[in-house]
Amino acid sequence: MELIKSNQNQKLKAVTRFAKENFVIIAFAILLIYGSLASPAFLTVSNIKTVLLQNSIYAICAIGMLLIVITGGIDLSVGSFVVVSVCFTAGFIQDGHGILAIIFVILLCIVFGIVSGILVAYAKVAPFIATLAMMTILKGIAYMYQVGQNRRIDGTFLPKFIQGNLWGIPIPVIILALIFVVFAVILRKTKYGRGIYAIGGNAETARLAGINVKKYLIITYALGGLLFGIAGMILAGRLSMGTATVGEGYELDAIAAVVVGGASLSGGVGSVTKTLIGAFLMGVLINIMNLMGIASYPQMILKGVIIVFAVLANRDN
């Protein structure tokens, strides 16, 4: 009798653990089902396309944030990276650099990322502070470069490419898919990926095990810069212009997606798949509320509630 009871107990435990570990996936599935019941417009090709398109920029930022969060850090400068990228991409294209503009901006964002990384790894500045500083520095640079006017790049290669489709799928979604695959492999299958989980779990243990903690941290912030930069380019392409008024609050959305996706801000835990779902969970939620005609202020409240629920569900015990 007792054996049966303990057996049942164990099964129940296993189920609860599964539910907790996959909270974001289950919540996402429920949301999809609810959405399709609540609004006939939800499960249409055009709506799905819109949701994917709208959220791919956020999702790319979230993946960048995830890398940094896994090391136990945080990046508050996501929005500023996006602004810098938007302004410089549009500016360089306007100046006639063509495809070189893309390469310039990518290198620029990687360099800025490396700066954050050096501050964190060598100068031992807390990531929160280092990236807070980067946030205002980058924003300042973007404003100075922009000098007030918007730079239109209508009709150039970038908006044409970004606003296009491949096999009927919007290009930003394809870029996101590529990034997703690449980073899923990096995190799961490379020494670097294993290393950053170790650093987030216990940096000292990682160092003693022969992991080059400083190098890995710098790479992480550089990759973050790269991804935020790519997000900015997509945004420039979608807007067909460079403007310093975008990017507000991107870091917070990215953090929300990462946390809802089960990563721990103390580091060492997190998955690209769940982060992606976390990003889309928020996006789909807003989409459904829009379709149902819910105003944007109640939407903000619900968003906050979801974050709290996700964190509670993800907690051990």
Partner 1 sequence: MEKFCQNACEISCTIQMKNITKAFSGVKALDDVSLSVNMGDIHALIGENGAGKSTLMNILGGKYSHGTYEGTVCMNGKELKLNSPRDANEEGIVMVHQELALIPELSVAENMFLGNMPLKNGMVDWKKTFELAEETLKKLSLEIDVHTKVKYLSIGQQQLIEIAKAINLGGRVMILDEPTAPLTGREISFLFEILRDLKKHGITIIYISHRLEEIFELTDTISVMRDGKMITTQKTSDMTHHDLVSYMIGREMQEFYPQDETQTGKTVMKIENFSVEHPTYHGKKIVDDVTMEFREGEIVGISGLLGAGRTELMSAVVGAYIKKGKGNVFINDKRVELKNPKQSINSGIGFITEDRKGNGLILSKSVAFNSSLAALNRITKNRLLNKKRETQLVLDLVDRLKIKTANVQNKVSSLSGGNQQKVVIAKWLATMPKILILDEPTRGVDVGAKFEIYTIMKNLAKAGVSVIMISSDLPEVIGMSDRVYVMREGKLSGELKKEELSEVNIMSYATGTITA
Where do contacts with partner 1 occur on this chain (CB under 8 A)? 2, 5-7, 9-10, 13, 185, 188-191, 193-195, 197-198, 201-202, 204-212, 268-269
CB of 190 to partner 1, least distance (A): 6
Cβ proximity to partner 1: between 123 and 147 the closer is: 123
Query: What phi and psi, each to the nearest 5 degrees, are found at residue 31?
Result: -60, -40
Cβ distance to partner 1 smaller for residue 28 or 183: 183
Whichever of 229 and 267 has its CB closer to partner 1, that residue is: 267
Q: Angle, to 10 degrees, between the axis of helix 191-201 and the axis of helix 213-239? A: 110
Q: Shortest Cβ distance from residue 313 to partner 1 (Å)? A: 18
Residue 77 CA to residue 133 CA, distance in Å, equals 8
Among residues 276, 199, 271, 255, the alpha carbon closest in space to that of 78 is found at 255
CB of 211 to partner 1, least distance (A): 7
The nearer residue to partner 1, 5 or 46, going by C-beta atoms, is 5
Smallest distance from partner 1 to CB 263, Å: 12
CA-based max dimension of the chain: 80
The least CB distance from residue 1 to partner 1, in Å, is 12
By beta-carbon proximity to partner 1, the closer residue of 207 and 303 is: 207
